[in-house]
Amino acid sequence: MAAAPEVSTKKNYLTALKEAIFEEFEAHDDIIAIGEDIGFLGGAFGVTEGLKEKFGSERVIDAPISEAAIVGVACGMCLHGKRALVEMQFIDFISTGFDQIVNMTATYHYRTAGEVSMPMVIRGPAGGYGGGALYHSQMNEAWFANSPGLKIVCPSTPKDAKGLLKAALRDPNPVLVYEMKELYRLRKIEEELETGDAALVPLGKASVRREGEDVTIVSYGNNVYHCLQAAENLEQEGYRAEVIDIRSLVPLDEETIIHSLKKTNRLVVVNEAPRTCGFAGEILARLTEEAFEYLDAPPMRVTRLDTPVPWVKPLELFVLPSADKITEAALRVCKF
């Protein structure tokens, strides 16, 4: 008689996010979720599926299609002692709530001299590579990195997705969580997850995904996997790359990157957003200011081209970062 197949206990990225939300809702009855179709449909990708059934319509609110209203209502909830979990159905549409985020939510703690906190998490699916075209493929994190008062995280693994979202929900001030929709159900990155406090991942702490001594490659989100593939390519060329996943853009863990640069003396930074004023440029600027003496070659960026993301697959891949583009950039700095 054949043995029963082993049942995997590993969870995908989407399930990790769901676990984070359900655990925090169980532990903290002051959290209220609001967004478009988050209760009725469980969200566009199912991240909040079952939440309304378990916690009721007073804590899981289906909102009209108005991101400005959604963030504004959430802001009011926070002012009245609640913690708000806001879903953007796609992160692209966060722009219609921009004023409420950067002029209201981000500034409350400062303009009340620290008396008022704004415990709000704004989360949503982001990024390209899935044929979503220009309205469903954006990475607009740099807009908000430019707004003091906001924290920004972008997990690349299920453990980090769960741990960073839990930490964000416990933070007293606003946090934006960029979820990589191309990673939601990716089986090859499934992981076993901790529960409760053991699952927490601190905001502002990077992770070294691969160790090396010839070049430091820094990224976050989906691009981390392109960097890891590039590191394998580089090993065939005789170079060992260190891959750093910053996980948290604001606050940024400069210390981990500088520690790596002291070994490698070369730097490549990768982000999926456009080149002009993208967060990769911010990382390069800071590292040039803080660690110039460790650089033996000009640092390089690999980014999306300064264009909307096309729908046609060959064009989409042409404008976005890839393992081959990262490999080419790393070889240039290694051979400088």
The burial of 2, by beta-carbon neighbours within 10 Å (0-12 exposed, 13-18 middle, 19 or more buried), is given as exposed
Alpha helix (H) residue ranges in 33-186: 51-55, 67-79, 98-99, 108-111, 141-145, 158-170
The DSSP string of 147-163 is STT-EEE---SHHHHHH
259 labelled catalytic: no
CA separation for the pair 296, 262 (Å, rounded): 10
Q: Which of 28, 80, 136, 259 is catalytic?
A: 136
CA separation for the pair 47, 20 (Å, rounded): 10
* Three-class SS state of 307: coil
CA separation for the pair 139, 17 (Å, rounded): 19
Q: How many helices (H) and strands (E) does the chain have?
A: 12, 12
**Which residues does the annotation mark as catalytic?**
136
